[in-house]
Amino acid sequence: MRVVGHFVAWRLGLRSAETQTTGAERDCLERHVAGRRRVVEIGVWHGVTTSRLRNGMHPDGVLTAVDPFPVGRLGISLQERIARCEVGGASRGQVVWVRARGAEAARYHGPVDFIFIDGDHSEAGLLEDWRAWSRLVEPGGIVALHDSRSCGGRMLDGAGSVKVTNEVIRPDVRFTIVDEVDSLTVLQKHAH
């Protein structure tokens, strides 16, 4: 019932859309998405970061919003309804909604120049997303990973997403780390 209660409070303007990103992380994402035309976000939730990405990308860009949006007891996804409304308030470019898991969505997607991975934080989930999407990032393109490192009062060292970031992604010679803010790691693909 918590989800329904939050949805009702959100519709009445008593609650905001939820996010697990910090303000500094959202600012960092918006800086790195500036001017990008083929943008992907894996893990939309309530669309808070999706809106920021849309506001920051190139005015003619396309943002692919990927989330499985599981349905609840009412037979609908209230999170998806919140996200679509939140993202609809942003005006740049267009949004393509893909109701799928991250790696699944990559099978039908072309090259990207920015991707924010904030979906399945398990070892297997992030590894699957990384393998599927990293090959689609164009040279010079950006990959941002949420919950990829411990920060401040958030000790995440035991998380699957941190383990995969440290053991697989950081050592990937195709990419260089260009920014780190709170739990966010931002990498850029080398231009061959």
Please give the span between the terminal C-alpha atoms of the chain, in angstroms, as a whole number. 51
Query: Using an 8 Å Cβ cutoff, are 114 and 35 in contact?
Result: no
Instruction: Work out the average pLDDT over 19-37.
Output: 96
Quick: pLDDT tens for 38-82.
999 999 999 999 999 999 999 999 999 999 999 988 899 999 999
CATH class of 21-189: alpha beta
Question: Residue 152: its pLDDT value, please?
Answer: 82
Token pair of 102 as six digits: 């991250």
Rounded to two decimals, the pTM is: 0.95
pLDDT higher than 70, residue 1: no
The secondary structure of 26-93, three-state, reads: HHHHHHHHCCCCEEEEECCCCCHHHHHHHHHCCCCCEEEEECCCCCCCCCCCHHHHHHHHHHHCCCCC
Q: Taking all residues of the chain, what is their mean pLDDT, rounded to a whole number?
A: 94
> What is the number of other CB atoms lying within 10 angstroms of the CB of residue 77?
18
Query: Using an 8 Å Cβ cutoff, are 41 and 55 in contact?
Result: no
Quick: pLDDT tens for 80-99.
999 999 999 888 999 999 99
* Range of weakest confidence among 9-18, 62-71, 107-116: 9-18
**Would you list the domain boundaries of the chain?**
21-189
Percentage with pLDDT > 70 across the chain: 99
Q: How many residues does the chain have?
A: 192
Question: Residue 6: its pLDDT value, please?
Answer: 85
pLDDT higher than 80, residue 169: yes
At position 142, the amino acid (one-letter code) is: I
Quick: pLDDT tens for 114-140.
999 999 889 999 999 999 999 999 999
